[in-house]
Amino acid sequence: MKPIKIGTRGSKLALYQAHYVAELLAQRQIKSEIVIIDTKGDQIMDVAISKIGSKGVFTEELEIQLEKGVIDIAVHSAKDMQSTLPEGFELIAFTAREKTNDVIVSHHGSVNLADTAKPLVLGTSSTRRVATLKHYYPHVMTTEIRGNLQTRIAKMEAGVCDGLVLAYAGVHRMGYDSLIKQTLSLDEFTPAVGQGSIAVEAYQGLGHTFRHQITQAVHNAETGFCLQAERSYLRVLDGGCSIPIFALANYTDNQIHLNGGIVDLDGTRRIHKQVIGPPESAESLGKELANLVLDAGGGEILTSIKQQLNK
Ligand SMILES: NCc1[nH]cc(CCC(=O)O)c1CC(=O)O
């Protein structure tokens, strides 16, 4: 059989993830090769993602190549995937999830958010992280920082900020564990939908045999149900990555525990709810959570955020 062509962005994190999927395939004697594709999100480095327009900046170019059949699958951080894919595209596998926490990475000896006496400037480009910091740790200052992990760390070391708020998954994948100074709680820093999992995207033209083999080798069913619930929540709120929405599902005792919410851009209000149900109801659990959050004031928050971002 021909090797499966795995499309990926060229960043180190993206390449790591593509190789990770290739390795899972190789464990089942499935041959693959990696094809690097440039994306708009990689080219525009000096503008905040929230200003480029969030819809698929990292995924559009890969989708064009999928549709042309230049690549068979595309590998992404699950977190970077829009809640609704364009017609004809589908996520066919999610890898077993890495620890989902956000962490603080710093070149300084110690950094602790709870230490209110020390002035602290943290770099992040995520509205969720900025708003969550404002909500729980208003003494912390933030500065917008972009680029891949290596660039961000270089900027931090050059003195742009004291530390960075990042996903543990990416930090770990890039081998920067030694810079982790604090692991943030999931209750406060509830992660972005999909954080910690790697997603495989395919176009409808992908043959049944490839599809089946890939799913067998790469997909983790428990993570799959969790992500289905989280992504269903995101779809109702129609987030886009610039809106500080968060959700995390856990699979325990054959039940999905889905919790999530939304926080105001300035951190004033934060809504956080939980729902529980069987994995087969993952999709409806997401909708149930969305309705709870919207009714508890999330609807107002969402409207006001959209107005602010459109200015
Ligand atoms: N937004 C960029 C992005 N997309 C995926 C990861 C890390 C890997 C993951 O969450 O699975 C990151 C970096 C970060 O948020 O720190």
Is a pLDDT exceeding 90 seen at residue 238? no
User: What is the best residue among 77, 98, 125, 177 to mutate for testing ligand 1's pocket, by most ligand atoms within 8 Å of CB?
Assistant: 77
Whole-number percent of the chain with pLDDT over 90: 84
For residue 65, tell me if it sits in a domain.
yes
pLDDT of 51 reads: 47
Is a pLDDT exceeding 50 seen at residue 22? yes
CB 190 within 8 A of CB 244: no
Same domain, 38 and 120: no
β-partners of residue 187 are: none
pLDDT of 80 reads: 92
For residue 190, tell me if it sits in a domain.
no
| Mean pLDDT to the nearest integer, 65-81 | 95
Same domain, 204 and 118: no
For residue 188, tell me if it sits in a domain.
no
Question: Could you list the residue range(s) of the whole structural domain that residue 139 is in?
Answer: 102-183
Question: Which residues are near ligand 1 (CB < 6 Å)?
Answer: 77, 79-80, 166-167, 169-170, 195-196
pLDDT of 58 reads: 73
Same domain, 62 and 77: yes
pLDDT per residue over 27-63, tens digit each?
Answer: 999 999 999 998 765 655 555 544 444 556 678 889 9
pLDDT of 309 reads: 82
User: What is the best residue among 9, 13, 172, 246 to mutate for testing ligand 1's pocket, by most ligand atoms within 8 Å of CB?
Assistant: 13
3-state secondary structure of 98: coil
pTM for this prediction:
0.93
Same domain, 127 and 204: no
Long-range contacts, stretch 11-17, CB < 8 angstroms, 24+ apart:
11/42, 11/148, 12/148, 12/149, 12/150, 12/174, 13/77, 13/148, 13/149, 13/170, 13/173, 13/174, 14/75, 14/76, 14/77, 16/173, 16/174, 17/75, 17/76, 17/77, 17/173, 17/198
Catalytic residue among 40, 99, 146, 269: 146
Is a pLDDT exceeding 50 seen at residue 145? yes
Number of structural domains found in the chain: 3
pLDDT of 43 reads: 56
Catalytic residue check, 146? yes
Q: Domain boundary residue among 157, 183, 209?
A: 183
Same domain, 247 and 278: yes
| Mean pLDDT to the nearest integer, 106-130 | 93
For residue 122, tell me if it sits in a domain.
yes
Same domain, 241 and 206: no
| Mean pLDDT to the nearest integer, 276-286 | 98
For residue 191, tell me if it sits in a domain.
no
The CATH number of the domain holding residue 245 is 3.30.160.40
Parallel, antiparallel, or unpaired for β 73-77 and 32-36? Answer: unpaired
For residue 203, tell me if it sits in a domain.
yes
Whole-number percent of the chain with pLDDT over 70: 93
Same domain, 23 and 81: yes
The CATH number of the domain holding residue 45 is 3.40.190.10
Same domain, 145 and 202: no
CB 143 within 8 A of CB 121: yes
pLDDT of 49 reads: 47
| Mean pLDDT to the nearest integer, 58-83 | 93
β-partners of residue 33 are: 5
Closest CA to 89 of 206, 169, 183: 206
pLDDT per residue over 202-235, tens digit each?
Answer: 999 898 999 999 999 999 999 999 999 999 999 9
Per-residue confidence at 83, pLDDT binned at 50, 70, 90? very high
| Mean pLDDT to the nearest integer, 94-111 | 96
pLDDT of 40 reads: 61
pLDDT per residue over 154-208, tens digit each?
Answer: 999 999 999 999 999 999 999 999 999 999 999 999 999 999 999 999 999 898 9
